[in-house]
Amino acid sequence: MYDAGVDASHHFIVMPLISGLTLADRARRGPVEDGEARRVGMALADALAYIHRKGVIHRDVKPGNVLLEAGGGVFLSDFGIARAADGPDLTATNCVVGTAGYLAPEQVRGLGAGPASDSYGLGLTLLEGLTGQRMYRGTPLEQAMATVTRPPEVPAWLGPQWCALLTSLTAPDPRARPSMDQVGKWFANWDQPYAMATRAVPLTPHLTAPVQVAVPGQVMPMRSRGPRGVVPVVFARRRHAVGRA
């Protein structure tokens, strides 16, 4: 962000202009090549690891929020619904903010969002880029319910490295998902033999570790719940305003 201020009654932010496509636009043209997907994945893991160390959770990692600059830059955008790791997760009574089809199961259940929720979003984002297909379709409610009832299908033709990584990133249990530092090491060791990479970078933390949610060890109180403990969800639709004051 270059500048921010108020001009008369208008609040403004000045940001760099990113010329290029979103990853969603790119995926609609067809699957992203393996090497390009790895480069994008490494950049996103690095960006998410940085904000997680600063105590910030993005909460809306998806292909539409990944900007691919014509010169090769990769940018994670739209922090409009990001929050501090120790801040409240609900913006209105019984409502969770995010994008249908990319919310982690714990977010749909109303258990809050943590760094592991961003890991889940990264998994779906890379999977969509590699296959050119969105994993969950239908109405917003159908998409949200699908993330709770069935994990995404990771096609075997992607190869053992991608299958292992994407399956771990989109694990139903947030405690089984790798951190962004682990993902970065995984990509750094990509060219090593598969068995060596899996030993060097374990992707399944011990399941007795505390779940990373908004309030560790607690379930956020909900006045009412939908079927099977799923809370009502509000899905945000946003337009990018990159480079406009």
Active site residues: 60
Residue (of 55, 57, 20) closest to 40 by Cα position: 20
Name the 3-class secondary structure at 56: strand
Q: Torsion angle, CA of 126/129/133/134, rounded to 10 degrees?
A: 50
> Residues near 238 by Cβ (< 8 Å), separated by ≥ 6?
78, 80
Cα–Cα distance, 114 to 119 (Å, whole number): 9
Strands 20-22, 66-69: pairing kind: antiparallel
Strand partners, 11: 6
CB 220 within 8 A of CB 110: yes
Which runs of E-coded beta strand occur in the chain?
3-7, 10-14, 20-22, 56-57, 66-69, 74-76, 83-84, 97-98, 234-235
Give me the amino acid identity at 188: A
